[in-house]
Structure 1
Amino acid sequence: MTVTIKDVAKHAQVSPSTVSRVIADNPRISPKTKEKVKEVMESLGYHPNFQARNLVIQKSQTLGIIMENSAALAFQNPFFPEVLRGISAAAHKSQFGLYLSTGATEEEIFEEVVAMTLGKRVDGVILLYSKIGDRVMEYLKNSGVPFSVVGRPYAQAETISYVDNDNVQIAKEVTDYLIGLGHRHIAFVGGTADYVVSLDRLKGYQQALTDAGLPFIQEYIAERNPMQSDEEGAIRRLMELPIRPTAIVTHDDLVAYEVISYLEDMKLSVPEDVSVIGFNNHAISEHLKPPLSSVDISIYELGVQAANLALEKILDETAAVRKVTVPARLIERGSCQQL
């Protein structure tokens, strides 16, 4: 005889709607009630028919994951597999699947987001980036679709649930660290200028210089520009300045790898001639020669929290907007030295 949701409710002494909410992991149901209902489900051998349930309640049990560019490019950066690992772990606990964006251009990604939300292919969305004037974020905010963001929104952050590091503070601490090593000529090689994380880290770098009574020198700033793609030329110009930098803060470890490679081509050694530091603490960074000093931004935890924020909104429409700050810490290795 087939066990039904009513049988579970009867044995657990709760209503069938409570059993449904337990299955959906509704946050309004107490942990004690959830445990009791799940024990009854297990003892009776009840297995929810999620496909039938989803058709009835018009839910897909799926989170849409939107990357900043095509999947082919995104997965070249170790940040994305790691943040997806965190998202996947949190989604699995709530029995949600993932739907990854595959568009190759901004326009294709925007059209894909519209199609996946209007077509009810996903119950909510996680943006894995935050940039100035992003059409996708604006669309999601106006559409009423539950969503969260990895990164501080540039505008109206108080109306959007997001998870981030304190990028201003950690960039300040990194620059303070180099100043403490005796460096007074410190360059900053940032990411693409319209991404909020790039702006925040540049701001932290500037704050550290100001607090230390050091001048902000525009020539010491290099930003990545995908349209120009002249990173090597930018580094060469830095090192050909009349007073060249003795240390470089880079946007992330991938940028640091490129910078170190360009410096080697110029016959400059790290850290003997130039100290270099990155962000993200990729697994390979500690195996470089010299091992790269880097900031561990807890990428996995960023993913977990981003998923939790989106799921909160999906499971409870009245859930409050939340900001989650994930701690970051500097890992000192051999790519920086005392002057």
Structure 2
Amino acid sequence: MKGIRQLADHLSISTGTVSRALNGKADVNAETRKRVLEAAEKLGYVPNQAGRSLRQGVTGTVGLILSQDASIGAGSENFFPRVIDGLQQALSRHGLDLVLLLRPRGEKQDEFLRRMVARRIVDALIITSTRVYDPRFPFLTKSGMPFVALGRSETSRPENRWADLDFEGIAERAVTRLFERGHRQIALAGPRPDANLGALFLKGYRRGLDSCGLTFDPDLVFQSDGQEAGGYEIGSRILESKHRPSAIVLNAEMMSIGLYRRLGEAGLTPGKDLAIIAERESPVGRFLSPRLTCFRIDAAALGCSLGEMLLSTLPAFAEQYADVPRQQIWPFDLVEGESDPPLQA
């Protein structure tokens, strides 16, 4: 195995040039970078990461904070794996590694974050599961730790970088679609109110009702866990309702599995007896009967964009990614299913 000095001697260039090429610095031309990378692979170059970290004060890693709770994927079985794939695509261009920092069950978000920042085991952080009022934004800003957020917050500042899904637009469009199909009693299923995605979803739902001339009824808003069990629970509550809705918009697509089962146990048919639209596409929706109507998000592209936002916060890459937006609301596409047919008279 060769070190950086042996690699530089082999190529007859300075160790500084080799170092900058290996670290993806913008001041090294493409031809030189290619020569260095090819020679490093051929000669079996292995960097002394521990020594480099001590000299430069960097680890070459980025931490993605996730929770071990059931809500880790915001109700989606494949959302975060695709986001992670996109993140790795962006970070690997510059030799940066992505590590998962799993918050233990029961430990508060803020306490876990403070512990990770104090240990300085990564160069930058990606936070998730944002809240309406989220003290992690001002804390990270004050600490000097570079970060981006997957999600918005009322406490984020203009200089903070975040990417989020268009929860408001999804909810509003779902309500409008159901209204146009004859539904007037449209329910909403969402997470706890302190989660910012839940607040945004509720805001879009109410905006959709207003645009259709419908009155908001708090009894038609159901809060529960975004997994299968939550959908089953909501199904039971709907069956017990005095004024049963004819349609429902689900904030988490995994809820549909439990909801379908509960309706079936009661002798009701999803789609026919209760029109259903879910927030986000997942593999299970294609195999439900009737096939679930939902919205498609390019989660890998979202992850790549989030990674580029993060790179723009790091001094070594700030100039290269200067044109990357600081904040972005990610678009969606409707996936036509069979779970929300026109209301039968």
Distance 1:313 1:2 in 2: 30
* 1:128–1:149 contact (8 Å) kept in structure 2: yes
* Superposition pairs of residues 77-156 of structure 1, within 5 angstroms: 77-78=76-77, 79-105=79-105, 107=107, 109-156=109-156
Aligned residue for 2:201, secondary structure, equals helix
Distance change >3 Å, CA 289–CA 2, structure 1 → 2: closer
Q: CA deviation at 1:281?
A: 0.6
8 Å CA contact 2:231–2:254 kept in 1: the answer is no
Aligned length: 329
SS of residue paired to 2:102? coil
Alpha-carbon distance, 1:21 to partner: 3.8
Alpha-carbon displacement from aligned partner over 1:184-214 (angstroms, at most 9, x marks no partner): 1110011221111111111111111111111
Which residue type is aligned with residue 90 of structure 1?
Answer: A
**Alignment-derived partner of residue 68 in structure 2:** 70
Aligned partner of 2:273 in structure 1 is 273
Separation in structure 1 between the aligned mates of residue 148 and residue 303 of structure 2, nearest angstrom: 11
Q: What does 1:44-59 align with in structure 2 at a 5 Å threshold?
A: 44-45=39-40, 47=45, 49=47, 51=49, 52-59=51-58
Distance 2:231 2:38 in 1: 62
Instruction: Give me the identity figure in percent.
Output: 24
- Tell me by how many angstroms 1:223 deviates: 1.3
**How many Å apart are 1:233 and its aligned residue?**
5.2
Supply the distance in 2 between the matched residues of 1:157 and 1:168 (Cα, whole angstroms).
20
What do the CA deviations read for 1:218-254 (whole angstroms, capped 9, x no partner)?
111111269xx97655443434444321110001111
| Aligned residues of 2:24 and 2:95 also touching (Cα < 8 A) | no
Deviations 1:90-141 (A, max 9, x none): 2322222233223324635544433332222100000122113334444222
- The aligned counterpart of 2:200 is 200
Question: 178-187 or 314-323, which moves further after superposition?
Answer: 314-323
Q: How does 1:228-247 map to 2 (within 5 A)?
A: 232=232, 234-247=234-247
Rounded to whole Å, the distance in 2 between the matches of 1:330 and 1:156 is 29
Matches within 5 A, 1:172-187: 172-187=172-187
Instruction: Tell me the equivalent position of 1:252.
Output: 252
> Structure 1 residues 305 and 183, CA, compared in 2 at 3 Å: closer, same or farther?
same
What is the CA-CA distance between 1:146 and the residue it aligns to? 0.5
1:48 CA displacement: 6.3
**Distance of 2:144 and 2:304 partners within structure 1:** 22
**Structure 2: gaps (5+ residues):** none
Pairwise mapping of residues 314-329 of structure 1 onto structure 2 (< 5 A)? 314=314, 315-316=316-317, 322-329=326-333
1:330 aligns with 2:334: yes
Q: Provide the secondary structure at the position in 1 that maps to 2:243.
A: coil
Farther-moved stretch of structure 1 (37-46 vs 147-156): 37-46
Q: Which secondary structure does the structure 2 equivalent of 1:313 belong to?
A: coil
Contiguous gaps of at least 5 residues in structure 1:
none
